[in-house]
Amino acid sequence: QVQLVESGGGLVQAGGSLRLSCATSGRTFSTSAMGWFRRAPGKEREFVAAISRTGSTTLYAASVKGRFTISRDNAKNTVYLQMSSLKPEDTAVYYCAGRSSSIVTMIDRTYDYWGQGTQVTVSS
């Protein structure tokens, strides 16, 4: 069974930075595409970023491109989301997700495994 555990969320002022981590268990991590999604209060879950199994391909939502960076360490079975120049509209619960496939997508229903989420709050 694959488990994903996010950490690194918290309260930060606008313009600040945070790094989220997602530690995974299970032997499929190195073959899996991984992604980050978020759900803001009163809104639908939305795509944030995704990364291929080797890290050679990354995708970003337009709203975070240039501010967020997704990366992974296959030796540590961990994926990261470095968030900079944070804005109040980035406030949300952030979820790590993994696919059984190595193909990167932005579509949440194509992801098979999900973490419990970590809260990120950006104050103005």
- The 10s digit of each residue's pLDDT in 87-119 is 999 999 999 999 999 999 999 999 999 999 999
Residue 28 has pLDDT above 80, yes or no: no
In Å, how far are 68, 113, 119 from 122, measured between CA atoms?
A: 14, 27, 10
Question: Given the structure tokens 């968030």, which residue do they identify?
Answer: 83
Predicted local distance difference test score (pLDDT) of residue 29: 81
Q: Which two tokens stand for residue 98?
A: 């993994």
81 pLDDT more than 80? yes
pLDDT of 2 over the 90 cut: no
Residues listed for the chain: 124
Residue 31 has pLDDT above 90, yes or no: no
- The pLDDT > 70 percentage for the chain reads 99
In degrees, rounded to 5, the angle at the alpha carbon of residue 56 between the alpha carbons of residues 47 and 84 is 50
